Amino acid sequence: MAQENTTTPSAKKLLDRVREKIRYKHYSLSTEKTYISWIKHYIIFNDKRHPVDMGAVEVERFLTYLANERHVSSSTQNQALSAILFLYRDVLTLELPWLDGFDRSKKPKRLPVVLTPLEVQALLRESSSAPEPVGLIVRLLYGTGMRLMEAVRLRVKDVEFTRQEIIVRDGKGGKDRITMLPDSLLEAMHRQLAIRREWHDEDIRSGKVGAWLPDALAVKYPNAPREWGWQYIFAARKYSIDPRSQVERRHHVDEKQVQRYVKKAALAAGIVKPTSPHTLRHSFATHILQAGYDIRTAQELLGHSDVSTTMIYTHVLNKGGKGVISPLDNL
């Protein structure tokens, strides 16, 4: 079905309500953009009818269209379903029995892509030519096991040099955790903070200082956005306009920049495996298990709520396929 770029006035008012509810729940800006986009697609696909006048048939038809005609992955289809469920349950506050009848698409079980230590060395060597702080972020991803967004959102107060640890705030699932600060990155982190301090002083002089804080924290600590400890360590060089508050401030480094350089470095290093920043997290987990650390330690460092999630990395502890010696090698 052909789709347009316009929505009806009633749909626009509805989308405003969606935005308000998302911000009330303190969801991220990326989640807001994703949910708004899927809800608009859902309304347009169904001839711009109001969601109140639609139900299970329309939702199922939309999801089927995504799978059969747009050939989206199961995770993308589930993302669309999450946006639609949010619309009905949280925005329209409709208790509809058919909402509970939808089974999410089963995501195929795949083993994580893991780089060998030699491949990691080659990748880090190639990424060292990236403009800072991108190169440092790449090393930090492998050295700590952090997710990409956790790394770019690091704030000054979350790095403890004396104890050589990093506090990862509000990770996946809204949990905090502690990971290590590698010895080999101490000097580079100090240099980055020195540069960042100069920028912070410049921001104060120009009147553009003001780190973004979640609404609740901004109200509780009104002076915090100007304080050094709350600033992003990996800040962008240029100022930008906050799309929600319209305040001009220095945001964190664009995560897409890190993604591009990791792919570029992998290509230059001759790595044929599909490689992304998250591959470095997989490699971190695998390599600490290979080094003899126990599964619970790995679980805590990675921030997994269930150890079964961490167990997927134990496949690397077996030589060959599940540790079985091929009969060919016994001939």
Active site amino acids: 147, 172, 278, 281, 304, 313
What does the DSSP assignment read for 274-311? Answer: ---HHHHHHHHHHHHHHTT--HHHHHHHHT-SSHHHHG
- Alpha-carbon distance of 56 to 103, in angstroms, equals 12
- Alpha-carbon distance of 145 to 285, in angstroms, equals 7
What does the DSSP assignment read for 73-118? Answer: -HHHHHHHHHHHHHIIIIIS----GGGGGPPPPPPPP-PPP---HH
Instruction: At 13, list the tokens.
Output: 């008012």
CB-CB contact of 311 with 286 (8 Å): no
Closest to 91 (Cα-Cα) out of 28, 186, 18: 18
Instruction: At 316, list the tokens.
Output: 């690397």
Residue 96, helix vs strand vs coil? coil
- Alpha-carbon distance of 78 to 23, in angstroms, equals 21
Which residue type is seen at 215? Answer: D
DSSP conformation class of 111: P
Tokens 């991108």 belong to residue: 134
